Structure 1
Amino acid sequence: MEFKQSLAQRIIIAFAVMSALVAGAFGVGIVSTVHLVEERLISSVLGGDLQRLLRMDSVSDWSHRPRPDQLFYFSGGRDDFELPKDLRHLEAGFHEVFRDQLSYHAMVEVVDGRHYVLLQDQSDFEERERVLFAVVLVGFVLSLALAVVLGWLLARRVMAPVIRLARQVRHRDQLLGLAPPLAPDYAADEVGQLAVAFDDTLGRLRDALNRERLFTSDVSHELRTPLMVLATSCELLMVNPGLDTRARNQVERIARATEEMRELVKTFLMLARAQHDESAIASRATVREVADDLIGVWRDTIEQKGLTLYYDGRVSASPVQYNATFLQSVMGNLLRNAAHYTDSGYIRLSLNPEGFSVEDSGVGIPEEQREAMFRPFVRGDERRGEGLGLGLSLVQRICDDQGWHVKLTATLPHGCCFQVDLSGLRGGSTVEIQVESALPPGEQP
């Protein structure tokens, strides 16, 4: 059973339930005991009074009369003492009877076949019972209220170290190497054990994070030199007049791949940083500037594949400047993904005031894979041998880091459209799946 209440609320509820059970059992016990004792006492008193009446010298000339709150009847009695029909069925012993909307305690004796019945009005007894019930009920309510108050006070006291530990874990930067341990602040109880467990877990996370940072830094450092050699070699080859057209195209492809590799290394290095002070480590650019550069990079590759590249930059794009490396990586991966999965038709890059969109007429994304496309190592078409399925995962990571929003729209009859909202008003990156009709591939907007 899953509880939705907080731990403090559960403590208060436990106190209230325990108090209700104890007070309820105690109240029921008091009422039952008092009722039984009074019944025994009344039975004893009535029995004594009845025996006193039976010891009269003569039935016709009584020396003793019943008390004013009592009624006496017997078989063969005259006038007011005649045994009524509604009492003749009573057997010997103590009874409770109701006559004329009144309740009585009755004591019956059978002597030589004659029934003697003594009735006593129990209005006073019922009044005492009502008072007793009221007192027990008030006591039950007060004990319940007191249990809730005590439960609240004790819950605050019991939960204080847990709340303090939660605040320390939440507000302290425990992943920093110089972060103080949590366990010394707590006693050697369950909360202290929890603090020790937090210290152990956070220690392992710090070690893993440090290894990741060192790995990323080492990889980026080691790759810069060979990438710089490749870039320099491509520049030297490009100025060689002896290169034919085919060789020059291959050198240009190597140069583009080298530049993409440098940007990718830079992107991973920035994502691995703990701080987000990007002003000192990243260049800034508008959406139009990044789009113009990428169109120049990808146009030849896309058109050599027989596809038509549409660039819709007439709509005024946002003048806001963004992290150029991240924005270039997101837009470049979406263009690369579109080029990889489109064999015929078109690819369209459109700018808008909120961001941009990349649309294609490719093979599309199977419906059962759409929600998983932004996970690592998930590919739209496994039959295509190239790629590891990390491009869209990188897009997702960058959008999560920057607070951007990605919407995947499946177009009919095939193809897809990725819309990226850079306004940051949605509070993070999510994936929305929609289906809409695509423009004819040959129609340029």
Structure 2
Amino acid sequence: MEFKQSLSQRIIIAFGLMSALVAGAFAGGIVLTVHLVEERLISTELGGDLQRLLAADTLEDWSHTPEPNQLFYFSGGEGEYRLPHDLKHLSTGFHEVFRGPLSYHAMVKFVDGRRYVLLQDQSDFEDRERLLFAVVFVGFVLSLGVAALLGWLLARRVMAPVIRLSRQVRHRDQLLGLAPPLGPDYAGDEVGQLAVAFDAALGRLRHALTRERLFTSDVSHELRTPLMVLAGSCELLLEYPMLDEASRSQVLHIRHVSEEMRELVQTFLMLARAQSNEGVSTKTSLVRVADDVAALWRVPVERKGLQLVYERIDVDDTHYSSTFLHAVMGNLLRNALHHTEQGMIRLQVRTHSFVVEDVGASVAESQRDLLLSQASALPMERMGLGLSLVQRICADQGWRITLTPLAPTGCRFQVDLEPLH
């Protein structure tokens, strides 16, 4: 499993590792240097003491007494000066000897075939050595703590412009036409170059969004006039007395399709207006939008011989984008009306969600996932432009839309809304 740290954490870790390496090298060097120097000094001092003992008394019956913390032995000595078996193997020079729980520094010399050994208790030396190790260890730990603190402070200072830039880029106002450029707020370093690159990318994105918005608005305006002419022509044809039943049915179908297209054009026009108004539309409650949409669609639903059931269950006064909520709810009702020939259509409003049910043609399970992930891939006889628009709006607003088939036929669309703060 790969662990991914943030850039700030990497800076702190780098400072910690660098401090551990440097402080560890210094600590090891200090300990080794002190140990070698102290050993050299003790060896010199102990060698001098042994030399003075040998010069003080060279008789066979030894009578000179060593220092209180020293033990003196030699080959052929009697009593307390007898050379123990554990020291007979020592060669000439300085040694460290352990005898039970105690440890000694030993200096060995050969003079006229006789081995002389001088031992000195090194308890004081070990105490100083342990104190030295404790001081070095505490210094090592403190250096790691100081390095971590310095790394954290440096990471905050280094990452502050990067974090600020990321917040500015993520802010939705950066897609507005009047958004100020980011580059002038930063120095000419790597972060400044990144800000300039973001300015270029956001500029191209704003330009593309502006073109799309203008195209949507212009097309919507241009399509309204021929649709109105088409609707008026249908009304005139329906008043023609010599029109036979088959022709009347075709004219009614043309009028119905033109009305649906006019509603879609109106939806696109509303979206274009909402986006041109700096991306902010009027906020209103879910119940108010549902009341308006239900009143708008009740007439065409009943004209088709269907029943529109409108239910409100535990609804609060949370506000949402009026334009997008009208578009989603209206297109779901239009889809239900288009695919339902008899029975009823239900619009049910709850807290932070609403449901649209119909008893029309069902959607296969393989097509349900396409509706939620790739709406344009659904067959046009069930998907249409309206549901594709619904899917795009929900994705943009952070709303979640789910589709459930009903038995024996029909669909249940549920839209879960996130309240706007």
Query: Which of the five TM-score ranges fits, normalised by the shorter chain?
Result: 0.7 to 0.9
Q: Which residue of 1 aligns with 2:153?
A: 153
Residue of structure 2 aligned with 1:398, choices 393, 401, 411: 393
> Is the aligned partner of 1:349 residue 2:346?
yes
The verdict on how the C-alpha distance between 1:261 and 1:345 changes in structure 2, with shifts beyond 3 A counting, is closer
- Aligned residue runs from structure 1 range 44-443, under 5 A: 44-55=44-55, 57-62=57-62, 64-111=64-111, 113-171=113-171, 173-272=173-272, 273-275=275-277, 278-279=281-282, 286-291=289-294, 293-294=296-297, 296-297=299-300, 311-313=308-310, 326=324, 329-331=327-329, 333-334=331-332, 348-354=345-351, 355-360=354-359, 362-367=361-366, 370-380=368-378, 386=381, 390-400=385-395, 404-411=399-406, 416-421=411-416, 424-425=418-419
2:271–2:324: 8 Å Cα contact kept in structure 1? no
CA distance in structure 2 between the aligned counterparts of 1:253 and 1:44, rounded to whole angstroms:
116
Cα distance in structure 1, aligned partners of 2:383 and 2:412? 21
Return the letter of the residue paired with 2:348.
Answer: L
Counterpart amino acid of 1:351?
Answer: Q
Stretches of structure 1 that go unaligned for 5 or more consecutive residues are 304-308, 429-445
Whether the aligned pair in 1 keeps the contact of 2:346 and 2:358 (CA below 8 Å) is yes
* Residue identity matched to 1:399: C
> Residues 352-386 of structure 1, C-alpha deviation per residue, up to 9 Å, x if partnerless?
4442332447453335x544422345445x5xx64
Q: Deviations over 1:85-110 (max 9, x none)?
A: 22233333322222231111112234
Size of the aligned set, in residue pairs, is 412
RMSD over aligned Cα atoms:
3.6
CA displacement, residues 291-321 of structure 1 (integer Å, 9 cap, x when unaligned): 45435435677x8xxxxx6644466696979
- The separation in 2 between residues aligned to 1:412 and 1:64, in whole angstroms, is 115
Residue by residue, what CA displacement relative to the aligned partner does 1:177-207 show, whole Å, maximum 9, x if unpaired?
A: 3333222222221111111111111111111
TM-score, reference length from structure 1: 0.78
| Identical counterparts, % of pairs | 63
Query: Secondary structure in 2 aligned to 1:58?
Result: coil
Paired amino acid for 2:8: A
**Structure 2 segments unaligned to the other structure (5+ residues):** none
Counterparts of 2:355 and 2:80, CA distance in 1 = 107
| Structure-2 separation of matches of 1:107 and 1:400 | 86
Amino acid at match of 1:40: R
From the superposition, tell whether residues 277 and 25 of structure 1 become closer, same or farther in structure 2 (CA, over 3 Å): closer
- How far, CA to CA, are the matches of 2:270 and 2:238 in structure 1? 31
Which structure: greater helix fraction? 2
